[in-house]
């Protein structure tokens, strides 16, 4: 056996390097004008409240893990998202990369990889095997989240688009375009 | 090529949405389990409530597919009621077969629910005609899921000597331990693959990635692999870890991260008399289920009509991006 080390969960230092390394994400970034984070927060709050309200089965599958803090790190965008899918107080907030943010799980990949995963288009195990997706922290919580998301017939990307009200169709179209112009992934 | 008997395609589902995906992609039968330790994929957020299983049976039957309920872990003393309740619920819901491994639960199922179709799980580890015929005689099992330790020639020999159907794995995760016998996870975490239904429980798995993107995997207190930047990762199981042993450093001492892929052997398996082909992966996503089930649907249909399918598109979904034919081709596959 290899050397035995004490079990520990580390919160790895977060890289602030923006890497616009795929065409789809670049396209999306071009379409989306720079928005100050404070202007983003009400929309994010609306998105997470809507999703938690619409999908009680998602929260049920998470069990106690719904109280965990998931740090989502699209490493070609200039901010992190912190998700806490607690049904009593669902939270989704954007943070600048300079901040050190307390979390239980850290999920990182390109914006497009993460979007494909929540849209149910990619197999997250294959993304992990291919090292497109990195996970550190509470593995049980992230496995529960992955399985809960995978049980949704309607994808979260649809729900996110729906939160834009009359703009929902153009937003969904932008998401679809992003997929179309990006290279195929498993 | 001559036409071959078309076997049943048995596909995995970890969630109700996964089941619908498998059925829509062409599964003849879908196997799934209840939440909790009664089946061998007891992962957080995975599996079915009783109500979800009932809904799944309706959906599958409406689309001409079967549902096979996996109740295939081994109860310990004092916990058997949970397994018996799961069996009773599955039967009352109207599943097409119950997959069991524990000999006591097999006895319970055959006595409490005579007439219910019984499949003997791979976890039972029955590989000889004598062992399988014992289950046929005593419990009237209709199908055995063979352990992944036999060559195709041996499967043919078993087929000729037993009184039930054969189901064989054709794709997915493969470990080198005989099923139902592995105690590696139990040794490290205190939780048992066979009795708690989970190999490498997620609560004991920790990943750490350094600044150079080297990924260290730990199970409990043990570092089981360190994957360099750019290298493919595998499942965090002890059997796929790398270790420093006396003659080699960083050595895959048990098995390399590879997936079973028997697409090229399908005609041989069909000729050997295999009734059902099984795809592993109840823990995998709907995207995986859709891709693999669709590919196997095409492959089975093409082979049974005497054609040659294109089977090149599954490698990206395999563990470590590598595949093997395991013991099915040769006992010395490493
Ligand atoms: S450690 Fe490997 S061989 Fe043992 S149960 Fe887990 S996957 Fe199977």
- pLDDT at position B105 over 90: yes
**Residue B139: CA atoms inside 13 Å, Cβ hemisphere, count?**
28
Phi, psi dihedral angles at B291 (to 5 degrees): -65, -45
Q: Which of A6, A130, A140 sits opposite B44 (nearest CB)?
A: A140
C-alpha–C-alpha distance, residues B293 and B61, integer Å: 18
Distances A125 to A134, A143, B26, B33, B209 between C-alpha atoms, Å: 11, 10, 22, 20, 17
Higher pLDDT, residue A162 or B101: B101
Highest mean pLDDT among A149-158, B106-115, B308-317: B106-115
Q: Could you read off the pLDDT of B80-100 as tens digits, one per residue?
A: 999 999 999 999 999 999 999
Q: Is A136 contained in some domain? A: yes
Which tokens hold the place of A184? 């195929």
C-alpha–C-alpha distance, residues B135 and B144, integer Å: 9
Q: Which residue has the tokens 């081994």?
A: B74
State chain A's mean pLDDT as an integer: 78
B264 with B329: CB under 8 angstroms?
no
Across the range A105-130, mean pLDDT stands at 86
Cβ neighbours for B79, distance < 8 A, ≥ 6 positions apart: none
Contact state of B202 with A126 under an 8 Å Cβ cutoff: no
Buried-exposed string B162-172: b where 16+ CB fall within 10 A, e elsewhere: bebbbbbbbbb
The ligand 1 atom at the shortest distance from the C-alpha of residue B240 is: 2
A132 with A109: CB under 8 angstroms?
yes
Q: Is A128 contained in some domain? A: yes
C-alpha–C-alpha distance, residues A150 and A166, integer Å: 27
Contact state of A143 with B201 under an 8 Å Cβ cutoff: no
Q: What is the pLDDT of residue A86?
A: 93
Question: What is the pLDDT confidence band of residue B232, given thresholds at 50, 70 and 90?
Answer: confident
Q: Is A1 contained in some domain? A: no
Q: Identify the CATH number of the domain in which residue A138 sits.
A: 3.30.1050.10
B151 with B168: CB under 8 angstroms?
no
Higher pLDDT, residue B174 or B314: B174
Min Cα distance A37 → chain B (Å) is 27
Which tokens hold the place of B217? 């995997």
- pLDDT at position A3 over 60: no
- pLDDT at position A13 over 50: no
Range with lowest mean pLDDT among A13-22, B70-79, B121-130? A13-22
| Domain spanning B8-174+258-333, CATH class | alpha beta
Q: Which of B46, B210, B218 sits opposite A147 (nearest CB)?
A: B46
Question: What is the pLDDT confidence band of residue A140, given thresholds at 50, 70 and 90?
Answer: very high
Chain A interface test: which of B45, B230, B280, B312 (most A C-beta within 10 Å): B45
> Hey, what's the torsion of the CAs at B90, B91, B95, B99, to 10 degrees?
70
Nearest CA to ligand 1 atom 3: B175
Q: Which of B80, B72, B77 is nearest to B100 (CA)?
A: B72
Q: Is A109 contained in some domain? A: yes
The residues lining ligand 1, judged by C-beta closer than 6 Å to any ligand atom, are B 175, 177, 182, 184-185, 193, 199, 237-239
Contact state of A151 with B16 under an 8 Å Cβ cutoff: yes
A147 with A182: CB under 8 angstroms?
no
Contact residues on chain A for B314, CB-CB shorter than 8 A: none
Contact state of A5 with B317 under an 8 Å Cβ cutoff: no
Percent of chain B with pLDDT over 70: 96
Taking the Cβ of residue A9 and every Cβ of chain B, the question of whether any pair is shorter than 8 Å is answered with: yes
* Maximum CA extent, chain A: 59
- pLDDT at position B325 over 90: no
Percent of chain B with pLDDT over 90: 74
Q: Angle at CA B202, nearest 5°, toward B95 and B177?
A: 70
Q: Which of B300, B312, B302, B319 is nearest to B260 (CA)?
A: B319
Q: Where are the alpha helices (DSSP H) in chain B?
A: 16-24, 50-62, 80-93, 103-112, 129-139, 152-161, 184-189, 266-271, 286-304, 326-329
Strands B248-251 and B259-261: unpaired
Q: What is the pLDDT of residue B1?
A: 52
Contact state of B232 with A129 under an 8 Å Cβ cutoff: yes
Closest Cα in chain A to B253: A1
- pLDDT at position A1 over 60: no
Q: Could you read off the pLDDT of A147-162 as tens digits, one per residue?
A: 999 998 777 778 888 8
Nearest CA to ligand 1 atom 7: B175
Strands B259-261 and B165-173: antiparallel
Q: Could you read off the pLDDT of B247-301 as tens digits, one per residue?
A: 899 999 988 888 899 988 999 999 999 999 999 999 999 999 999 999 999 999 9
Please give the distance, rounded to the nearest whole angstrom, from the Cα atom of residue B149 to the centre of ligand 1: 14
Contact residues on chain A for B20, CB-CB shorter than 8 A: 153
Q: Which residue has the tokens 């006895």?
A: B107
Contact residues on chain B for A157, CB-CB shorter than 8 A: none
* Maximum CA extent, chain B: 60
C-alpha–C-alpha distance, residues B145 and B284, integer Å: 20
C-alpha–C-alpha distance, residues A131 and B231, integer Å: 8
Per-position DSSP letters for chain A, written without gaps between them: -PPB-------PPPP------SHHHHHHHHHS----HHHHHHHHHHHHHHHHHH-HHHHHHHGGGGGS-EEEEETTSSEEEEEE--TTS-EEEEEETTS----SEEEEE-HHHHHHHHTT-S-HHHHHHTTSSEEEE-HHHHHHHHHHHHT-SS-HHHHHHHTTGGGHHHHHHHHHHHHHHSPP--
Q: Cα-atom radius of gyration of chain B, to the nearest Å? A: 20
| Domain tally, chain A | 1
Contact state of A123 with B242 under an 8 Å Cβ cutoff: no
Q: What is the pLDDT of residue A2?
A: 35
Q: Which of B182, B282, B325 is nearest to B240 (CA)?
A: B182
- CA B39 to chain centroid: 11
Q: What is the pLDDT of residue B334?
A: 65
- pLDDT at position A15 over 90: no
Q: Is A168 contained in some domain? A: yes
Q: Which residue has the tokens 């669902």?
A: A90
Q: How many helices (H) and strands (E) does chain B have?
A: 10, 15
State chain B's mean pLDDT as an integer: 92
Min Cα distance B182 → chain A (Å) is 17
Strands B259-261 and B323-324: parallel
Ramachandran sector of residue B154 (left: φ over 0; alpha: ψ -120 to 50; beta: rest):
alpha
Chain A interface test: which of B22, B184, B187, B207 (most A C-beta within 10 Å): B207
- pLDDT at position A47 over 70: yes
Q: Which of B122, B185, B219 to mutate to test the pocket of ligand 1 (most atoms within 8 A of CB)?
A: B185
Q: Could you read off the pLDDT of A69-117 as tens digits, one per residue?
A: 999 999 888 899 999 999 999 999 999 988 889 999 999 999 888 888 8
Please give the distance, rounded to the nearest whole angstrom, from the Cα atom of residue B255 to the centre of ligand 1: 10
- pLDDT at position A23 over 80: no
What pTM was estimated for this model as a whole?
0.88
* Domain span at A54: 16-181
Q: Is A3 contained in some domain? A: no
Cβ neighbours for A115, distance < 8 A, ≥ 6 positions apart: A157, A175, A178, A179
Buried-exposed string B58-84: b where 16+ CB fall within 10 A, e elsewhere: ebbeeeebbbbbbbbbbbeeeeeeebb
Min Cα distance B271 → chain A (Å) is 32
Q: What is the pLDDT of residue A135?
A: 92
Contact state of A147 with B45 under an 8 Å Cβ cutoff: yes
Min Cα distance A144 → chain B (Å) is 4
Q: List the domain boundaries for chain B.
A: 8-174+258-333, 184-252
């Amino acid at each position: 056996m290899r050397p035995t080390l004490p079990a520990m969960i580390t919160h790895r230092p977060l890289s602030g390097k923006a890497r616009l390394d795929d065409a789809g994400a670049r396209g999306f970034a071009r379409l989306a004008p720079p928005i100050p984070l404070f202007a983003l927060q009400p929309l994010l709050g609306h998105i997470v409240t809507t999703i938690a309200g619409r999908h009680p089965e998602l929260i049920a599958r998470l069990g106690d893990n719904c109280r965990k803090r998931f740090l989502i790190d699209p490493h070609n965008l200039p901010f992190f998202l912190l998700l806490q899918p607690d049904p009593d107080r669902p939270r989704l907030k954007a943070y600048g990369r300079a901040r050190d943010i307390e979390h239980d799980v850290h999920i990182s990949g390109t914006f497009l990889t993460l979007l494909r995963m929540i849209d149910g288009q990619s197999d997250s195990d294959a993304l992990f095997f291919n090292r497109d997706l990195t996970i550190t922290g509470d593995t049980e919580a992230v496995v529960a989240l992955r399985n809960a998301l995978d049980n949704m017939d309607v994808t979260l990307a649809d729900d996110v688009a729906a939160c834009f009200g009359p703009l929902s169709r153009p937003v969904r179209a932008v998401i679809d375009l992003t997929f179309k112009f990006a290279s195929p992934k498993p | 090529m001559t036409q071959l008997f078309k076997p049943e395609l048995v596909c995995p589902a970890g969630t109700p949405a996964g089941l619908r995906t498998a059925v829509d992609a062409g599964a003849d039968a879908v196997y799934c389990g209840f939440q909790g330790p009664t089946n061998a994929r007891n992962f957080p957020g995975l599996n079915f409530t009783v109500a979800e299983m009932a809904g799944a049976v309706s959906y599958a039957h409406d689309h001409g597919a079967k549902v096979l309920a996996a109740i295939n872990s081994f109860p310990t003393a004092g916990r058997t009621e949970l397994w018996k309740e799961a069996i009773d619920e599955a039967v009352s819901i109207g599943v097409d077969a119950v997959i069991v491994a524990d000999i006591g639960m097999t006895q319970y199922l055959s006595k409490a629910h005579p007439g219910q179709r019984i499949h003997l799980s791979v976890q039972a580890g029955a590989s000889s005609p004598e062992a399988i015929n014992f289950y046929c005689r005593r419990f009237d099992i209709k199908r055995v899921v063979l352990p992944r330790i036999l060559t195709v020639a041996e499967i043919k020999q078993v087929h000729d000597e037993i009184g039930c159907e054969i189901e064989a794995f054709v794709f997915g995760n493969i470990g080198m331990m005989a099923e139902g016998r592995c105690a590696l996870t139990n040794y490290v975490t205190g939780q048992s693959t066979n009795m708690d239904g989970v190999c490498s429980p997620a609560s004991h798995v920790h990943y750490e990635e350094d600044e150079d993107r080297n990924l260290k995997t730990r199970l409990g207190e043990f570092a089981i692999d360190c994957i360099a930047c750019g290298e493919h990762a595998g499942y965090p199981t002890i059997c796929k870890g790398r270790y420093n042993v006396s003659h080699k450093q960083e050595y895959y001492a048990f098995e390399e991260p590879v997936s079973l892929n028997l697409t090229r052997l399908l005609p041989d398996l069909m000729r050997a008399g295999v009734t059902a082909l099984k795809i592993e992966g109840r823990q995998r996503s709907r995207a995986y289920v859709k891709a693999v089930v669709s590919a196997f649907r095409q492959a089975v249909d093409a082979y049974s009509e005497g054609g040659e399918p294109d089977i090149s598109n599954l490698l990206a979904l395999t563990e470590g991006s590598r595949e093997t034919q395991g013991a099915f081709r040769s006992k010395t596959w490493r």
